[in-house]
Structure 1
Amino acid sequence: MRVLILGGTTEARRLAAVLAADPGLEVTVSLAGRVAQPRLPAGRLRIGGFGGAAGLADWLRAHLMDAVIDATHPFARSISAHAAEAAAAVHLPLLVLRRPGWAAAPGDRWHRADSLGHAAALLPGLGQRVFLTIGRQETSAFAGLADLWFLARSIDPPEPPLPPRIRVLLDRGPFTVEGERALLRKHNIDIVVAKDSGGTATAAKLTAARELGLPVLLVRRPPLPAGIPVAADPASAVEWLRRLPSAGRR
């Protein structure tokens, strides 16, 4: 049984490790190639885009895939949409593997935004020294906020245009509460901006913000394509896969 995992997340790597150990499965993991030095998963590896939904459908046909698991980042809206369209076009079962979003705890001062643009509009009324933890690709949404100071953390350098008053910190999680607390104090941060990515690797900043009494501006996830089953963890994804016929869906 041939399985394509659209990866790039911790959950994708964990799932690939389990599936690659099964001699009855042939697992290919696709990475978008947007991180210079990604953490590589088990199984066969493919790096780069497919050329939209049509290109992905062609690839699925050419490689005789039996199932697709979308284990991309919760904010990877385009690839999730392409996966749904491509899987439907070639009549393959598709599962979305998404870790749950974060839940507020007592003492949290969370504000919600529907998009990064919405977050940029709300931000001037909430703080002046911003810890921006949204990845490298969409920092431009805040480029017009010249009166605010930003500490932007990402794995690779963020793409321009950037806010005029910004310091870039290149780092990769997981992070500790102690380290995040020290970082927020060192830079006199008065608000944290983050995407609702969920998981434990970067959740320490939320705990540190709570302990310091700082507000957090959290961007809501984009909606998933309608009608696609969703698994919250790799174990549930494995169970879904085991229930499928072994082949013949091409």
Structure 2
Amino acid sequence: MSVDVHPTAIVAPGAELADGVSIGPFSIVGENVRIGARSRLLAHVVVEGHTRIGEDCVVRNFTNLGGPPHHNGYRGEPTELIIGDRNRIWEHVTMHIGTVDGAGRTVVGDDGMYMASSHVGHDCLVGDNVILAHSGTLGGHVRVGDFVMVSGLAAVHQHCRIGRYSFIGGLAAVTKDVIPYGMVWGNHAHLEGLNLVGLKRRNFSRETVSELRTAYRSLFADEGTFQERIDDAERAFGHSAPVMEIIDFIREDATRPLCLPEREE
């Protein structure tokens, strides 16, 4: 299997292209770029910096991968962008390399869909099977778990954590952490409930969904302190891995504010 480079494309001498890679018209590949087997860059794609793209990815027109971070402290250090396998990256997407003040790398997992004009900022850690819809934006240092859906025109503030299987509604401005399995929307985003549609699509059992719903009501009830409600939920549902994932997520970083349900006045 050979490499197919269009005559109008520019591939720097140091770039590493695996078998079956296709580089389309007017695309540019930098000298520190590695592209995995059977991945395809369509027209006018720029891949620069220390960027690694996995296997079987498709990168569509006018996308820029591996550009310098939007960070005033960046001084040209050889930080990285690492993209996993089987990702679909659509038109005008941007994904930036990391910073030395952060993780030193931006990491995108496998099997994701990054729709037109979406953005992954510097030092982000993005899981597998993530969807960023049109113009969905991740600020720097954002952590996104597996199977997260970020809807169109939604923006996630820097340093936020987005738990697994959660759903970010369209136009949401997310400035606080989102629990696993949660669903948020609004400006600023508030917790609207559990991502029940996503749980159904991912074949979670009725028993698990029922436990999550009961634990959710307990955690975000009006009675008692939040710490008391966390302890009560752990005693009642310590056997449930998804419920404990939410509790562990909350306890992981007490300095981070959480998206909470809106309270009636």
TM-score bracket for this pair, using the shorter chain length: under 0.3
TM-score normalised by length of structure 1: 0.23
Higher-strand-fraction structure: 2
